A and B are shown apart, each in its own frame.
Chain A
Amino acid sequence: MGNFLVWAVWVVAAFACLGSGIAVITFSNPFYSALALIGNLGSLAVLYLLLSAEFVAAAQVLIYAGAVMVMFLFVIAYLGGRADAPWAGGPSWQTVGAVAAAGALLVEIILAIGLKAGGSLSRANISEAFGSPAAIGKAFLTDHLLAFEITSIVLLVAAIGGVVLGSYARRRHWGAAKPPVGDSRPVESVHGVPPADRSAL
Protein backbone atom coordinates (compact mmCIF):
# COMPACT_ATOMS: atom_id res chain seq x y z
CA MET A 1 0.00 0.00 0.00
CA GLY A 2 2.78 2.39 0.92
CA ASN A 3 4.58 1.39 -2.24
CA PHE A 4 1.53 2.20 -4.34
CA LEU A 5 1.13 5.57 -2.63
CA VAL A 6 4.76 6.52 -3.34
CA TRP A 7 4.35 5.57 -6.98
CA ALA A 8 1.10 7.51 -7.28
CA VAL A 9 2.64 10.65 -5.76
CA TRP A 10 5.70 10.26 -7.97
CA VAL A 11 3.66 9.90 -11.16
CA VAL A 12 1.46 12.89 -10.34
CA ALA A 13 4.42 15.10 -9.40
CA ALA A 14 6.50 14.03 -12.39
CA PHE A 15 3.76 14.68 -14.91
CA ALA A 16 2.84 17.99 -13.29
CA CYS A 17 6.53 18.91 -13.44
CA LEU A 18 6.93 18.04 -17.12
CA GLY A 19 3.58 19.51 -18.16
CA SER A 20 4.18 22.82 -16.43
CA GLY A 21 7.71 22.91 -17.87
CA ILE A 22 6.29 22.59 -21.38
CA ALA A 23 3.67 25.20 -20.49
CA VAL A 24 6.36 27.70 -19.44
CA ILE A 25 7.97 27.69 -22.86
CA THR A 26 4.74 27.60 -24.89
CA PHE A 27 2.59 30.31 -23.28
CA SER A 28 2.81 33.56 -25.19
CA ASN A 29 1.98 35.69 -22.14
CA PRO A 30 4.97 35.84 -19.76
CA PHE A 31 2.64 36.19 -16.78
CA TYR A 32 1.15 32.74 -17.43
CA SER A 33 4.65 31.38 -18.02
CA ALA A 34 5.75 32.59 -14.59
CA LEU A 35 2.66 31.07 -12.97
CA ALA A 36 3.38 27.75 -14.71
CA LEU A 37 6.96 27.91 -13.44
CA ILE A 38 5.62 28.26 -9.87
CA GLY A 39 3.69 25.02 -10.44
CA ASN A 40 6.83 23.42 -11.84
CA LEU A 41 8.87 24.39 -8.77
CA GLY A 42 6.15 23.17 -6.42
CA SER A 43 5.95 19.74 -8.05
CA LEU A 44 9.76 19.55 -7.99
CA ALA A 45 9.60 20.14 -4.23
CA VAL A 46 7.33 17.08 -3.97
CA LEU A 47 9.93 15.03 -5.86
CA TYR A 48 12.61 16.32 -3.45
CA LEU A 49 10.48 15.15 -0.53
CA LEU A 50 10.25 11.69 -2.10
CA LEU A 51 14.06 11.69 -2.27
CA SER A 52 14.15 12.50 1.48
CA ALA A 53 15.59 15.98 0.92
CA GLU A 54 13.27 17.77 3.31
CA PHE A 55 15.35 20.90 3.84
CA VAL A 56 15.98 21.40 0.12
CA ALA A 57 12.25 21.00 -0.57
CA ALA A 58 11.43 23.65 2.02
CA ALA A 59 14.10 25.97 0.63
CA GLN A 60 12.76 25.37 -2.87
CA VAL A 61 9.26 26.45 -1.88
CA LEU A 62 10.43 29.40 0.24
CA ILE A 63 13.20 30.80 -1.94
CA TYR A 64 12.27 29.76 -5.48
CA ALA A 65 8.51 29.58 -5.56
CA GLY A 66 8.29 32.39 -3.01
CA ALA A 67 10.95 35.05 -3.29
CA VAL A 68 12.39 34.58 -6.78
CA MET A 69 9.06 34.14 -8.51
CA VAL A 70 7.54 37.12 -6.71
CA MET A 71 10.41 39.19 -8.09
CA PHE A 72 9.72 37.80 -11.55
CA LEU A 73 6.04 38.63 -11.30
CA PHE A 74 6.86 42.17 -10.11
CA VAL A 75 9.08 42.76 -13.14
CA ILE A 76 6.52 41.25 -15.54
CA ALA A 77 3.81 43.45 -14.06
CA TYR A 78 6.14 46.47 -14.31
CA LEU A 79 6.82 45.78 -17.98
CA GLY A 80 3.11 45.42 -18.65
CA GLY A 81 3.09 41.70 -19.46
CA ARG A 82 3.48 42.32 -23.16
CA ALA A 83 2.79 39.12 -25.04
CA ASP A 84 4.99 38.23 -27.94
CA ALA A 85 3.69 35.93 -30.63
CA PRO A 86 6.23 33.12 -30.78
CA TRP A 87 4.12 30.82 -32.92
CA ALA A 88 2.90 33.34 -35.47
CA GLY A 89 3.46 32.45 -39.09
CA GLY A 90 4.28 28.79 -38.58
CA PRO A 91 7.53 27.32 -37.27
CA SER A 92 10.64 29.09 -38.47
CA TRP A 93 13.88 27.32 -39.25
CA GLN A 94 15.17 28.47 -35.86
CA THR A 95 12.32 26.70 -34.06
CA VAL A 96 12.79 23.51 -36.03
CA GLY A 97 16.54 23.57 -35.41
CA ALA A 98 16.07 24.27 -31.70
CA VAL A 99 13.65 21.37 -31.27
CA ALA A 100 15.97 19.07 -33.22
CA ALA A 101 18.95 20.12 -31.09
CA ALA A 102 16.97 19.61 -27.89
CA GLY A 103 15.84 16.18 -29.06
CA ALA A 104 19.40 15.19 -29.89
CA LEU A 105 20.51 16.36 -26.45
CA LEU A 106 17.74 14.33 -24.81
CA VAL A 107 18.67 11.17 -26.71
CA GLU A 108 22.30 11.66 -25.75
CA ILE A 109 21.53 12.12 -22.05
CA ILE A 110 19.11 9.20 -21.96
CA LEU A 111 21.70 6.95 -23.61
CA ALA A 112 24.32 8.01 -21.10
CA ILE A 113 21.95 7.38 -18.21
CA GLY A 114 20.85 4.02 -19.58
CA LEU A 115 24.42 2.86 -20.06
CA LYS A 116 25.93 4.22 -16.85
CA ALA A 117 23.46 4.87 -14.07
CA GLY A 118 21.16 1.91 -14.21
CA GLY A 119 20.32 0.13 -11.02
CA SER A 120 17.90 0.60 -8.22
CA LEU A 121 17.86 3.37 -5.69
CA SER A 122 19.74 1.96 -2.73
CA ARG A 123 17.40 2.33 0.19
CA ALA A 124 19.45 0.84 2.98
CA ASN A 125 22.32 3.14 3.79
CA ILE A 126 20.71 6.39 4.91
CA SER A 127 19.73 7.27 8.42
CA GLU A 128 16.54 8.87 9.64
CA ALA A 129 18.19 12.31 9.80
CA PHE A 130 19.25 12.30 6.13
CA GLY A 131 18.32 15.62 4.56
CA SER A 132 17.03 17.17 7.78
CA PRO A 133 17.92 20.80 8.57
CA ALA A 134 20.27 19.69 11.35
CA ALA A 135 22.21 17.38 9.05
CA ILE A 136 22.37 19.98 6.28
CA GLY A 137 23.51 22.68 8.69
CA LYS A 138 26.18 20.45 10.16
CA ALA A 139 27.48 19.51 6.72
CA PHE A 140 27.46 23.15 5.64
CA LEU A 141 29.40 24.39 8.64
CA THR A 142 31.96 21.57 8.82
CA ASP A 143 32.73 19.83 5.54
CA HIS A 144 31.45 22.46 3.13
CA LEU A 145 32.36 25.67 4.95
CA LEU A 146 34.22 27.10 1.95
CA ALA A 147 31.19 26.62 -0.32
CA PHE A 148 29.03 28.31 2.30
CA GLU A 149 31.28 31.37 2.51
CA ILE A 150 31.73 31.62 -1.26
CA THR A 151 27.95 31.51 -1.64
CA SER A 152 27.67 34.55 0.62
CA ILE A 153 30.19 36.41 -1.55
CA VAL A 154 28.26 35.47 -4.70
CA LEU A 155 25.03 36.80 -3.19
CA LEU A 156 26.76 40.02 -2.09
CA VAL A 157 28.19 40.62 -5.58
CA ALA A 158 24.77 39.95 -7.14
CA ALA A 159 23.11 42.41 -4.76
CA ILE A 160 25.69 45.09 -5.59
CA GLY A 161 25.23 44.35 -9.29
CA GLY A 162 21.47 44.74 -9.02
CA VAL A 163 21.81 48.10 -7.26
CA VAL A 164 24.37 49.36 -9.80
CA LEU A 165 22.24 48.29 -12.76
CA GLY A 166 19.15 49.91 -11.29
CA SER A 167 20.78 53.23 -10.43
CA TYR A 168 22.60 53.43 -13.77
CA ALA A 169 19.39 52.97 -15.73
CA ARG A 170 17.59 55.57 -13.62
CA ARG A 171 20.36 58.17 -13.95
CA ARG A 172 20.62 57.86 -17.72
CA HIS A 173 16.90 57.84 -18.27
CA TRP A 174 15.91 60.78 -16.07
CA GLY A 175 18.97 62.79 -16.96
CA ALA A 176 17.98 62.65 -20.62
CA ALA A 177 14.29 63.28 -20.04
CA LYS A 178 14.44 66.20 -17.60
CA PRO A 179 17.26 68.68 -18.29
CA PRO A 180 17.59 71.35 -15.58
CA VAL A 181 15.92 74.67 -16.38
CA GLY A 182 17.50 77.90 -15.16
CA ASP A 183 20.40 76.13 -13.52
CA SER A 184 23.78 76.30 -15.18
CA ARG A 185 25.30 73.65 -12.97
CA PRO A 186 25.45 70.16 -14.40
CA VAL A 187 23.01 67.66 -13.04
CA GLU A 188 24.74 65.62 -10.43
CA SER A 189 21.77 64.07 -8.80
CA VAL A 190 21.10 60.42 -9.10
CA HIS A 191 17.53 60.36 -7.93
CA GLY A 192 16.10 63.08 -10.08
CA VAL A 193 16.17 65.64 -7.27
CA PRO A 194 17.76 68.94 -8.34
CA PRO A 195 21.01 69.69 -6.48
CA ALA A 196 19.50 72.72 -4.75
CA ASP A 197 16.79 70.61 -3.15
CA ARG A 198 19.11 68.01 -1.84
CA SER A 199 19.66 69.76 1.48
CA ALA A 200 15.99 69.22 2.22
CA LEU A 201 16.50 65.50 2.18
Chain B
Amino acid sequence: MKGPDIAAYLVIAAVLFVTGAAGVLIRRSPLIILLSLEIMLNGGNLALIAMARHQGGLGGQIFALAVMAVAASEVVVGLGLIVAMARRHLELDVDKLSTLRG
Protein backbone atom coordinates (compact mmCIF):
# COMPACT_ATOMS: atom_id res chain seq x y z
CA MET B 1 0.00 0.00 0.00
CA LYS B 2 1.59 3.19 -1.17
CA GLY B 3 -0.06 6.54 -0.83
CA PRO B 4 0.94 10.17 -1.26
CA ASP B 5 4.24 11.50 -0.04
CA ILE B 6 4.82 13.32 3.21
CA ALA B 7 5.01 16.61 1.30
CA ALA B 8 1.39 16.22 0.15
CA TYR B 9 0.17 15.88 3.73
CA LEU B 10 2.30 18.82 4.82
CA VAL B 11 0.89 20.99 2.04
CA ILE B 12 -2.64 20.12 3.15
CA ALA B 13 -1.66 20.98 6.74
CA ALA B 14 -0.16 24.30 5.63
CA VAL B 15 -3.24 25.25 3.62
CA LEU B 16 -5.48 24.37 6.58
CA PHE B 17 -3.37 26.48 8.93
CA VAL B 18 -3.44 29.43 6.55
CA THR B 19 -7.21 29.07 6.07
CA GLY B 20 -7.69 29.26 9.82
CA ALA B 21 -5.34 32.23 10.09
CA ALA B 22 -7.29 34.07 7.38
CA GLY B 23 -10.52 33.33 9.25
CA VAL B 24 -9.10 34.71 12.49
CA LEU B 25 -7.96 37.86 10.70
CA ILE B 26 -11.06 38.45 8.57
CA ARG B 27 -14.05 37.54 10.72
CA ARG B 28 -15.29 39.72 13.57
CA SER B 29 -17.55 37.30 15.42
CA PRO B 30 -15.71 35.64 18.34
CA LEU B 31 -17.53 32.36 17.67
CA ILE B 32 -16.16 32.17 14.13
CA ILE B 33 -12.74 33.15 15.42
CA LEU B 34 -12.81 30.18 17.82
CA LEU B 35 -13.86 27.88 14.97
CA SER B 36 -10.99 29.21 12.83
CA LEU B 37 -8.59 28.59 15.72
CA GLU B 38 -9.72 24.98 15.72
CA ILE B 39 -8.83 24.77 12.03
CA MET B 40 -5.36 26.16 12.75
CA LEU B 41 -4.79 23.65 15.56
CA ASN B 42 -5.91 20.82 13.31
CA GLY B 43 -3.50 21.92 10.60
CA GLY B 44 -0.72 21.65 13.16
CA ASN B 45 -2.03 18.26 14.27
CA LEU B 46 -2.00 16.92 10.72
CA ALA B 47 1.62 18.00 10.27
CA LEU B 48 2.56 16.36 13.59
CA ILE B 49 0.93 13.07 12.67
CA ALA B 50 2.40 13.06 9.15
CA MET B 51 5.84 13.63 10.67
CA ALA B 52 5.26 10.86 13.22
CA ARG B 53 4.46 8.50 10.35
CA HIS B 54 7.51 9.71 8.46
CA GLN B 55 9.87 9.23 11.38
CA GLY B 56 8.29 6.03 12.63
CA GLY B 57 8.05 7.31 16.21
CA LEU B 58 5.01 7.80 18.41
CA GLY B 59 6.06 11.19 19.78
CA GLY B 60 4.15 13.15 17.17
CA GLN B 61 0.92 11.31 17.90
CA ILE B 62 1.36 11.89 21.64
CA PHE B 63 1.89 15.58 20.93
CA ALA B 64 -1.23 15.64 18.74
CA LEU B 65 -3.29 14.19 21.59
CA ALA B 66 -1.91 16.84 23.96
CA VAL B 67 -2.84 19.52 21.41
CA MET B 68 -6.36 18.07 21.36
CA ALA B 69 -6.61 18.44 25.15
CA VAL B 70 -5.34 22.02 24.96
CA ALA B 71 -7.88 22.78 22.22
CA ALA B 72 -10.70 21.41 24.38
CA SER B 73 -9.54 23.61 27.29
CA GLU B 74 -9.35 26.63 25.02
CA VAL B 75 -12.88 26.01 23.79
CA VAL B 76 -14.17 25.80 27.37
CA VAL B 77 -12.62 29.12 28.35
CA GLY B 78 -13.45 30.84 25.06
CA LEU B 79 -17.08 29.76 25.06
CA GLY B 80 -17.34 30.78 28.74
CA LEU B 81 -16.11 34.25 27.79
CA ILE B 82 -18.55 34.48 24.89
CA VAL B 83 -21.47 33.43 27.08
CA ALA B 84 -20.41 35.96 29.72
CA MET B 85 -20.31 38.65 27.05
CA ALA B 86 -23.74 37.68 25.75
CA ARG B 87 -25.22 37.68 29.26
CA ARG B 88 -24.07 41.25 29.79
CA HIS B 89 -25.64 42.26 26.47
CA LEU B 90 -22.35 43.19 24.89
CA GLU B 91 -22.20 43.10 21.13
CA LEU B 92 -20.39 40.01 19.82
CA ASP B 93 -17.90 41.87 17.68
CA VAL B 94 -14.22 41.82 18.50
CA ASP B 95 -13.70 45.25 16.97
CA LYS B 96 -16.13 46.79 19.46
CA LEU B 97 -14.65 44.91 22.44
CA SER B 98 -11.38 46.79 22.27
CA THR B 99 -11.17 47.45 25.99
CA LEU B 100 -11.40 44.72 28.61
CA ARG B 101 -12.89 46.97 31.28
CA GLY B 102 -16.04 45.92 33.07
Contacts and interface: CB of A to CB of B under 8 A. Distances in A.
Partners in one complex: yes
Contacts of B23: 24-25
Interface of A is mostly: helix
Interface string A74-108: 01101100101010000000110111011101100
A9 to B, nearest CB: 8
Interface in B49-85: 49-50, 52-54, 56, 58-59, 61-66, 68-77, 79-84
Interface residues of A, number: 89
A161 B34 CA distance: 17
A139 B7 CA distance: 26
Contacts of B22: 25, 98-99, 101-102
A68 B1 CA distance: 34
Contact of A162 (B7, B52, B80): B80
B83 A75 contact: yes
Interface in A2-57: 2-3, 6-7, 10, 14, 17-18, 21-22, 24-25, 30, 33-34, 37, 40-41, 44, 47-48, 50-53, 55-56
A114 B7 contact: yes
A131 B61 contact: yes
Nearest to A158: B73
B26 interface: yes
B54 to A, nearest CB: 6
A113 B65 contact: no
Contacts of A78: 83, 86
Interface in B81-101: 81-84, 86-88, 92-93
The list of the 5 closest CB pairs from A to B, nearest first, reads: A158-B73, A25-B23, A98-B25, A165-B80, A169-B84
30 contacts: A7-B4, A14-B12, A18-B19, A21-B20, A24-B35, A25-B20, A33-B32, A44-B42, A50-B3, A64-B42, A75-B82, A79-B82, A79-B92, A84-B28, A98-B25, A102-B18, A110-B11, A110-B14, A114-B7, A117-B10, A131-B61, A140-B62, A147-B62, A154-B73, A155-B69, A155-B73, A161-B76, A169-B88, A170-B87, A173-B87
